[in-house]
């Protein structure tokens, strides 16, 4: 009995080791994560809610929230459609170049947001062939909404695909084949069988993509031109207000983004696929 207790306790280390490890880990998390977030919440709300409300309802701030919402919504829609299509393609079909396609989808994770912005300027800027043609035909990409949507789409690209793929792999396609033999067409099979079974994972991926899109800064900062009241997003608003010494405005908008992040974190925790323990 005693030897068993000893044996069971031994792997997690003795009392001193355990307390040291616990202390070091929690201290690190406290000073790196909890304290900074606590301090910004304190700074924002130390004079109550009224100044925060005023800071968030200036026309520049309101417009920034509108632009961010618009850009994020479009980027998420694009990435959701693409994400589901790419996931189905990669899981259910074997074709030459499949491995390469799989690898390319992860590329945006490793690319600096600033490089994303530069890349889009080089292709779609008014000095480039494609970009110049688009500008002459009244469809400018850089320094306007389409460029910001493409930049945001780029950085959030892998999230939906990677959320949906494991679930698609797990469910297999027996049900779909059965439905096909019973005469269901591709659309019916997708809407009635595939979609319901990937619903949870898809929602999880969409929340992650939305959080990422709402928070994008570097890529959008490069392609937007950061025009106040026009192409200024909330993250750019935070930076510019801070640099213009409007700390109240910067902290209020930053806190709004912190709240959005925390909410999406909690929602994604509930949605995260848990089954299978993989």
Partner 1 sequence: MSALPSDAAVLAAPPVRRGRTWSRPAFGPALTGGLVVVYLSVIVLIPLGFVVAKSTTGGWSAFWASVHTPDAWSALELTVGLSLVVALVNLVMGTLIAWVLVRDKVPGRQLFDTVIDLPFALPTIVAGLTLLLLYGVQSPIGLNLAYARTGVLVALLFVTLPFVVRTVQPVLLELDRDMEEAAASLGAGPLTIFRRIVLPTIAPAMAAGTALAFARALSEFGSTVLISGNVPRQTQVAAVNIFGQIQSDNVHGAAAVSTVLLVVALIVLVLLNVIQRWVARRD
Binding to partner 1 (CB under 8 A): which residues in 116-155?
Answer: 116-124, 128, 150, 153-154
Tokens of 179: 């439905």
Q: Does 195 bind partner 1 (CB under 8 A)?
A: no
Is 209 a binding residue for partner 1 by CB under 8 A? The answer is no
CB 195 within 8 A of CB 150: no
Site string for partner 1, 152-171 (x = CB under 8 A): -xx--x--------------
Q: Residue 159 corresponds to which tokens in the numbers above?
A: 């999230």
> Alpha-carbon distance 145 to 187, whole Å?
32
Which DSSP symbol is given to 142? T
Question: Which one of 8-16, 58-66, 164-172, 193-201 is the stretch in contact with partner 1 (CB under 8 A)?
Answer: 8-16
Shortest Å, Cβ 200 to partner 1: 18
Nearer to partner 1, 4 or 50 (CB): 4
Range in contact with partner 1 (rule: CB under 8 A) among 20-28, 49-57, 132-140, 192-200: 20-28
What is the DSSP code (8-state) at residue 112? Answer: -
Strands (E), the chain: none
- The stretch among 47-55, 78-86, 163-171, 198-206 that binds partner 1 (CB under 8 A) is 78-86
- The residue within the footprint of partner 1, chosen from 2, 48, 59, 93 (CB under 8 A), is 93
Q: Residue 200 or 251: which CB sits closer to partner 1?
A: 251
CA distances to 28, 83, 128, 213 from 69, in Å: 34, 20, 29, 9
Q: First-to-last CA distance in the chain?
A: 34
Structure tokens at 83: 């994400």
């Amino acid at each position: 009995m005693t030897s068993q207790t000893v044996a069971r306790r031994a792997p997690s280390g003795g009392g001193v080791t355990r307390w040291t490890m616990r202390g070091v880990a929690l201290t690190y998390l406290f000073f790196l994560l909890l304290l900074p977030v606590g301090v910004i919440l304190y700074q924002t709300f130390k004079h109550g809610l009224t100044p925060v409300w005023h800071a968030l309802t200036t026309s520049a701030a309101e417009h920034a929230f509108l632009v961010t919402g618009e850009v994020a919504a479009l980027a998420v829609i694009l990435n959701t459609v693409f994400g589901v299509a790419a996931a189905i393609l990669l899981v259910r079909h074997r074709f030459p170049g499949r491995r390469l396609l799989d690898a390319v989808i992860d590329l945006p994770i490793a690319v600096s947001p600033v490089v994303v912005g530069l890349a889009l300027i080089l292709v779609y800027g008014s000095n480039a062939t494609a970009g110049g043609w688009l500008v002459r035909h009244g469809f400018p990409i850089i320094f306007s909404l389409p460029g910001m949507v493409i930049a945001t789409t780029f950085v959030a690209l892998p999230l939906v695909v990677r959320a949906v793929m494991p679930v698609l792999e797990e469910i297999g396609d027996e049900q779909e084949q059965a439905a096909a033999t019973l005469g269901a067409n591709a659309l019916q099979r997708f809407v009635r069988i595939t979609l319901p079974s990937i619903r949870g994972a898809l929602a999880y991926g969409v929340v992650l993509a939305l959080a990422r899109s709402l928070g994008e800064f570097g890529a959008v900062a490069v392609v937007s031109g950061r025009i106040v009241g026009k192409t200024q997003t909330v993250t750019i608003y935070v930076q510019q207000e801070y640099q213009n010494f409007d700390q109240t405005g910067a902290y209020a908008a930053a806190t709004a983004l912190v709240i959005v992040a925390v909410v999406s974190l909690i929602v994604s925790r509930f949605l995260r696929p848990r089954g299978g323990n993989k």
